[in-house]
Structure 1
Amino acid sequence: MTNSHLTLILRTLSKKEVRDLRKWLHSPAHNQREDVVELFEYLVKGQHLYEDKFLEKERVFSRIFKKERFDDAKLRQTMHFLLKTLEEFLIYQEQQSDEVRARMALASVFRKRKLDRAFQKAIRSVEGLQEQATYRNEQFLRNEYLLQLEKYSFYDGKKRTTEMNLQQVSNALDLTFIADKLRQACAMTTHQKVYKTEYKIHLLDEIISHVEAEGLLDYPAIAIYYYGFKAITSPPGIGEPYFLQLRNDIRKYKGLFPKHELRDIYLMSINYCVAQINRGQDTMRSELFDLYKNGIDSQILIENNTLSHFTFRNIVNLGTALRQFEWVEDFIEKNQRFLPLRYKETFVQYSKAKLHFTKREYNQAMQLLAQFDFDDILMNLYGKAMLIIMYYEQEETTALDSLLESMRTYIRRKDIIASYKALYSNLITYTRKLVRINPYDRAEIANLRKEITSANPLPEKDWFLEQLAKL
């Protein structure tokens, strides 16, 4: 039962959801089987959901059907009924989570039963809830469309003299479609840039023109994704004004989006900044760092009490590059608890190594790097990049030459995203040139400085220029 659908779902429930589900199971309207209640109580007790020994079928069966001989089919039947009831509970929860949609469903019931007064009362309640809604995202616009559509359905079939709300229905549908289309366009564009795939995104030119012509940027659900789309699709150097407006709108409308959607908005903005930095636009580093700091402080980037190990690493890399040492050290200590357990030790050790390395505490950094062989390709490349610099500065020529050759082989053999392959191939190339340069040939040094300055992408560019200045 360790990886059964039932067990996996139960593990995601909060303490409150467990309490609510218990009440649900004890209601005859939802469940009339005592064995289902027994199985539920057994599974949610202590660590039963998380330790394999407690999930052995024979053990579970003996707790539910005391003194009976093990019957796999009987246990599976009980599991089936518990799963079915659990799914019904989750559906109900999801429906009730949107009060506007739930009350609108009641209005629809009254309309279909031709209870006009009850319908009018319910629909006024919906309108009040809609006006007071916290969020102003696409779901808010969609609820407005459904509200207008429900009112139209009520009016339709009445006396033809009744004023119809067809224009409101059409306007609400347009806003819903535009907001949703722009959001999907942002997601698709970001995905195809990262994974080098191609999507056909129809009607975007028409939508962009309509948004601009009709002045629809006062709607947060449209403005955020309009500026996001314009930023990530504009040519280099053209998209920054759109990004800056996006940044301002995020600050302005932050409270108008649910956390899960706000997280996607932050990630879209973060991906834009990363792309610009990879093109050599270093001014975006501070923008990116502010996004990360704000995302961590507000826990927007922490989902289900978990912080992505990739995000953790990227924050450490950026913070140390900006020499925010105290903040980075504090970040590592406070936020390592959010790392997935399987990555925690490795990523914390790497982060501390990065911190020591940037502070030029090379002995401590080397000791930490020597303790781990990173499974992650990029972690390996990051670690090797640090070693390259430390070997060069400590004049460990033989070790450096061996590392550069092994790193070139590693890049050639591994399936690495093209942008990272170019980044670290350039690191190897220019390190070899730096090692082999004649320190007394000023023209050769000047040429290499010019070459490094224009090289893109190239990590640790400032370090290369610093070493040339020492020659």
Structure 2
Amino acid sequence: MYKSKLFALYRSLGTAQEQRLGRFLSSPYHNQREDILALYDYIHNHATETDRQSLRKETVYAALFEGPYKVAKMDHLMSMLLQLIERFLLVERIEQEPLESQIKLNRSYLELGLDKHFRQSWRKAEALREESPLRDSNYYRYGYYLEYQRYEQSTSERRHQAKNLLKLSQSFDIYFLAERFKQACLMLAHEAVYKVEYNRSLVELLEQYVQQNPQLLAQDSPLSLYFFCYQSLLPPYPEASFQAFKKALLGPAQNTLPKAELRDLYLLAINYCIRRSNSGQKHYLKELLYFYKSGLQEGILIQNGRLPTSSFKNMVKAALKSKEFAWAKEFIEQYPPYLDPKHRAAYLHYAQGEYYYYLGQYEQAMLALQEIEFGDIFMNLSARLLLLKMYYELGELEALEAQINSMKIYLQRKDQLGYHRENYKNILYFCRRLLQLPPYPKIAEKKKLEADIQSRQPLTEKDWLLQQLAKK
């Protein structure tokens, strides 16, 4: 039982939830079987014991029943308790979503033919919708449901006098378009990392429709957010679309969208800034750092007390590239407690290593990197690359050659690196080309290599490579 779905679900509940679950199972409306309640009480009383013997199915069965152990009986009892706990979670969810519940109550009144009750319930649901500060796509989805229910009720009373079809259509259009462009944004972000391509034919038709009906974007809705975000993620990544997206994101959306949705939007904006910065548009570093700082200040990038390790690492890099060393130092000292404990030490040591590298203190940087246990693939590659750069700048050619070779082998062995593989291969390629230049290269050779570096994509270390070339 210790490894069962039932026990894992029980262990995931908080103390207050456990208490409510106990009352739920004791209610005859939900459960009329004493053996199910007895099984729950046994699990509740033994869940924290370190001796797993007490949670073996045979042991639990012997505590609940007389006679020899019956596998089918025990499995069935566990399954029934699992289903009841799942029903409890559904009831909890319904209580947390009063508008959803009210809309379902409307449906019940419609089916019972109680028009007066329906109208009163409908007005309450509409009031709940309008009182909510959120104006995400669900706001329009609920608006569609409510208008459709009103349409059903009006046609049942006066069959051909429904007057809310326009409002019904508008609510559905905003909901559908916002959700469709949201999915398109997520697909484009996925395409940018992994070598996949999604069919965008429907989205392209919808894009034309929105462009032909600009009044849709004038409304205070999530559609403008996702529409401009979608356009900014398409080559050639138009800056005008990104600025329109940024304006919408930093406007009313801050107070009208759930934190989880805001986080996804911030990450889309951040990835756009990273892409543009890596392509040589350095002013996007300032934009990038702004989104990071704003996301921290507003509590958007930290969810459930956790800051993603990739965000932590990228924030440090953005601050260091922007020469905001004091902010980077303060951030490195303050935010490691928000990282997943399993990866906290590695990312802290890497951040310290990169900080010292940017200060030119290579010995301290290498000491920090030595503390990293290389479990994470991307952390491994980042640390290897930082060492490579220091070996190059220090002129330690033997260590540099070994590092280049080991990274090439590592890249060949690892799957699912997406565009990262090409990026690192390009870095190694140009690093070797720099090494092959004579001590005093001809101007034509340098210009040729500079042009090749500038044109190669993806290449995140373009600035560093050009700096080393300039020293030749």
For normalisation by structure 1, the TM-score amounts to: 0.88
Question: Pairwise mapping of residues 223-302 of structure 1 onto structure 2 (< 5 A)?
Answer: 223-233=224-234, 235-236=235-236, 238-252=237-251, 253-302=253-302
Structure 1 window deviating more from structure 2 (8-17 vs 165-174): it is: 8-17
1:228 Cα deviation (Å)?
0.9
2:103 alignment partner AA: M
1:139 alignment partner AA: N
Q: Deviations over 1:408-437 (max 9, x none)?
A: 232234335353233222322333333343
CA RMSD of aligned residues (A): 3.0
**For the structure 1 residues 281 and 60, does the alpha-carbon distance in structure 2 shift closer, same or farther, using more than 3 Å as the test?**
farther
Question: Pairwise mapping of residues 135-284 of structure 1 onto structure 2 (< 5 A)?
Answer: 135-160=134-159, 162-214=161-213, 215-217=215-217, 218-233=219-234, 235-236=235-236, 238-252=237-251, 253-284=253-284
**For the structure 1 residues 318 and 75, does the alpha-carbon distance in structure 2 shift closer, same or farther, using more than 3 Å as the test?**
farther
Three-state SS of the structure 2 residue aligned to 1:360 is coil
| Aligned partners of 2:94 and 2:101 also within 8 Å | yes
Find the counterpart in structure 2 of residue 394 from structure 1.
Answer: 394
| Aligned partners of 2:11 and 2:47 also within 8 Å | no
2:21 alignment partner AA: L
Find the counterpart in structure 2 of residue 431 from structure 1.
Answer: 431
Find the counterpart in structure 2 of residue 357 from structure 1.
Answer: 357
Find the counterpart in structure 1 of residue 417 from structure 2.
Answer: 417
Structure 1 window deviating more from structure 2 (125-134 vs 271-280): it is: 271-280
**For the structure 1 residues 169 and 14, does the alpha-carbon distance in structure 2 shift closer, same or farther, using more than 3 Å as the test?**
same
1:99 alignment partner AA: P
1:160 Cα deviation (Å)?
4.2
Q: Distance in 2 between matches of 1:132 and 1:45?
A: 43
1:433 alignment partner AA: R
Q: Distance in 2 between matches of 1:335 and 1:60?
A: 46
Q: Does 1:311 align with 2:328?
A: no
Find the counterpart in structure 1 of residue 321 from structure 2.
Answer: 321
| Aligned partners of 1:48 and 1:55 also within 8 Å | no
1:9 alignment partner AA: L
Q: Distance in 2 between matches of 1:72 and 1:375?
A: 41
| Aligned partners of 1:353 and 1:369 also within 8 Å | yes
**For the structure 1 residues 16 and 292, does the alpha-carbon distance in structure 2 shift closer, same or farther, using more than 3 Å as the test?**
farther
1:74 Cα deviation (Å)?
5.0
How many residues end up aligned between the 2 structures? 468
Q: Distance in 2 between matches of 1:334 and 1:26?
A: 47
Find the counterpart in structure 2 of residue 92 from structure 1.
Answer: 91
- 5+ residue gaps, structure 1, are none
2:232 alignment partner AA: A
Three-state SS of the structure 2 residue aligned to 1:304 is coil
2:157 alignment partner AA: K
Q: Distance in 2 between matches of 1:147 and 1:228?
A: 29
Q: Distance in 2 between matches of 1:303 and 1:69?
A: 49
Q: Deviations over 1:203-257 (max 9, x none)?
A: 3233223323331112322111111111112x22x52111122112111112211
Q: Distance in 2 between matches of 1:52 and 1:307?
A: 35
| Aligned partners of 2:174 and 2:221 also within 8 Å | no
Q: Distance in 2 between matches of 1:254 and 1:7?
A: 39
1:296 alignment partner AA: L
| Aligned partners of 2:278 and 2:462 also within 8 Å | no
Find the counterpart in structure 2 of residue 124 from structure 1.
Answer: 123
**For the structure 1 residues 13 and 302, does the alpha-carbon distance in structure 2 shift closer, same or farther, using more than 3 Å as the test?**
farther
**For the structure 1 residues 64 and 337, does the alpha-carbon distance in structure 2 shift closer, same or farther, using more than 3 Å as the test?**
farther
Q: Deviations over 1:258-304 (max 9, x none)?
A: 12222222222223223323333332222222222222333323333
Three-state SS of the structure 2 residue aligned to 1:156 is helix
| Aligned partners of 1:152 and 1:166 also within 8 Å | yes
**For the structure 1 residues 6 and 211, does the alpha-carbon distance in structure 2 shift closer, same or farther, using more than 3 Å as the test?**
same
Three-state SS of the structure 1 residue aligned to 2:282 is coil
**For the structure 1 residues 17 and 282, does the alpha-carbon distance in structure 2 shift closer, same or farther, using more than 3 Å as the test?**
farther
Q: Distance in 2 between matches of 1:140 and 1:86?
A: 30
Find the counterpart in structure 2 of residue 367 from structure 1.
Answer: 367
Find the counterpart in structure 2 of residue 13 from structure 1.
Answer: 13
1:321 Cα deviation (Å)?
2.5
**For the structure 1 residues 320 and 32, does the alpha-carbon distance in structure 2 shift closer, same or farther, using more than 3 Å as the test?**
farther
**For the structure 1 residues 369 and 41, does the alpha-carbon distance in structure 2 shift closer, same or farther, using more than 3 Å as the test?**
farther
1:144 Cα deviation (Å)?
0.5
| Aligned partners of 1:39 and 1:64 also within 8 Å | no
1:447 Cα deviation (Å)?
5.2
1:360 Cα deviation (Å)?
2.1
- The answer to which structure, 1 or 2, has the higher relative contact order (CA under 8 A, 6+ apart) is 2
Three-state SS of the structure 2 residue aligned to 1:22 is helix
**For the structure 1 residues 348 and 70, does the alpha-carbon distance in structure 2 shift closer, same or farther, using more than 3 Å as the test?**
farther
